[in-house]
Structure formats: C-alpha cells, structure tokens
Structure 1
Amino acid sequence: MDATTRRGAEAARAANGPGVHDFGLLIKAATRLEQRIETALRRECGIGHSMFEVLIRLCRQPGEEVSQRELADDLTLTSSGITRLVDRMEEAGLVVRVPAPGDRRSVLVEPTDHGQTVFLQAAAVHAQVVDRYFVNPLSRADYTRLTSSLGQIHEALREG
C-alpha cells in the first residue's frame, strides 16, 4: 500500500469515527429543528427565531433593564448585528429603545405591548414544534437523560 492510499484510508477512518458521526448527528438535528422553528415562527407570527430569542430575553424578567450590549452578549451577536436586529424589531413595533438612567452611552431595550403579544403567540408555536420534534420522539426517561447530558456538556464548555 503506497503513502497516498494509506493516507486516504486513515482519512476515511477519521471521517467515519464515532465522535465525528455522533457530533454530526447533534448538529444536523439541531439545525433541522432550528429550521422547523424558523419556518413555523415566520409563517404563524411573522418573526424569525432571532427576534424570538430577543423577546424571550426581554420577557424573562418583567421590569428588568436589559441593555443592547447585554442582548448582544446573550445572543452571541456582534454590536452591529444586534443593532440591525433591534432596528428591525423597533420598526415592527416589537421593542422600543430607551436611554439608560445614569449612563448616556447605554441604551436599554424593552418589549412593547405588541411585542409581548407576538411573543406569547410565538412561544406557543415554538412549544408545538419543540414538542413534536424534540420531546415526543423520545421516551420520558430518554428525554430526561438527554437534557441532563446536554446540561453537563454546557457546563463543561463554560468551565473549559
């Protein structure tokens, strides 16, 4: 066996390894679920998943002051990315920007009444899609093990 054939065989073993395969399944499942959620939210509520994520963050603690910078960090967006997203949401009447008390450089983002109404509708749509494709295909015990394992992975990534 020549070097090229050996390297090809090694590459094939690496590409078909269990870690590559299993992680690929996770990414494919997450991507397809994200696509299903995105499609349903756009069709039923007129918003995308990113807007839904902003509304989740803003509605989680009523009355909490959330800066645009905090939103960017929470959603892992750049400052220009969150600015464009909040611009679109403001144009749609979902959020308003208000000056931060005591900090002229900071801007707070708050949901509007319309934004809260859209969020409640979107939360119901999101729950239906998640139940159908993430919860229902598994037994209760398997679902509990999966979410526990995902929590452990999340913690390991935060620590590492």
Structure 2
Amino acid sequence: MSGYRVGDIQLDEPVSVLPQAHIVGNIIAPRLRVAGMVYGSTAAHDTIILKDGQIWGDVHTGRLEVAAGGRVQGWVSSLDSADYQRIREEGVVPAIEPGAATAQDLPANGRSVTRSDAQNTLLRRLQDEAASALAARVELEQTFDKRLQEVAGETTARLA
C-alpha cells in the first residue's frame, strides 16, 4: 500500500504499508508489515513494524516484531488462529477495552504501572485524538500541495 488511503483493508494475502504511505482505517490480513503510518487498528497472525513505521491504534496479533524506531500508539492484544479467523469472518477489528485486565490478573512484575479505568479511558481518547489529528494533517498537506500546483499551473498559463 502506498500513498494516502482512507478505508478499511481486509485481504487474504500479506499487506505491506510502504514508507511515506498513510492508511486511515483498520487492516485485517494474515501478515502485516508497516514501514509507513496506519491510523487504525490491525489484526494479523504476524505484525512487523519496521524502522519509522507506526500504528496509531490497537494491534491484535499472534506475533509482534517492532524494529528500533518503530512505534505502536495503542493497546496490544495476543491473537490465536481461532480469534484471527473470527475477526476475518466478521470483518471487524474489536476495540481493546482499557481496564479489561485488572492488576490482580497480572503477574507481580507487571504491576508496577497501574492506572484507574478513568485514566485508561482518558489515555485512549487522547491517543484517538492524536491519531485523528495526524491523519487530518496529512490530508490537509496533500490537499494544499494539489491546490498549489493548480494555482501555479493557472498562473503559468496566463503568463504564456
């Protein structure tokens, strides 16, 4: 995938989000490689986020690899084959509910950072707003560049 694209993507083949690409929507694919930016949640057996790749949303995956410089701005959930199949059939990536696991559900060494449900909800909203703002910025920049080219073309035509 390249360029700027709005809409969910569901494929039965691997998906690669190329550098400079901006995908606004959820992605469901057996294998996902991200070198650009995804503003939405993902579900895949294998997810690889390359250097400078970013996912601004929840990641449901059986295997996650994040290269140095790659980022996830959202929650991560383990996914087995049955869960992936269900998501693929339904065509909907479920939202991960903050606070679904309580501190008592976590191993002792995983309890160092605990937040209240209200804090988790606020954090989720902030992440969603930041993702929306980044997506809107990309769209605005592309619209501006297109309009600038149109005006430059009109001016050049008048001068000729």
Higher relative contact order (CA 8 A, sep 6+): 1
Q: TM-score range by the shorter chain?
A: under 0.3
Higher helix share: 1
TM-score by length of 2: 0.28
- Higher-Rg member (1/2): 1
Question: Greater share of strand residues, 1 or 2?
Answer: 2
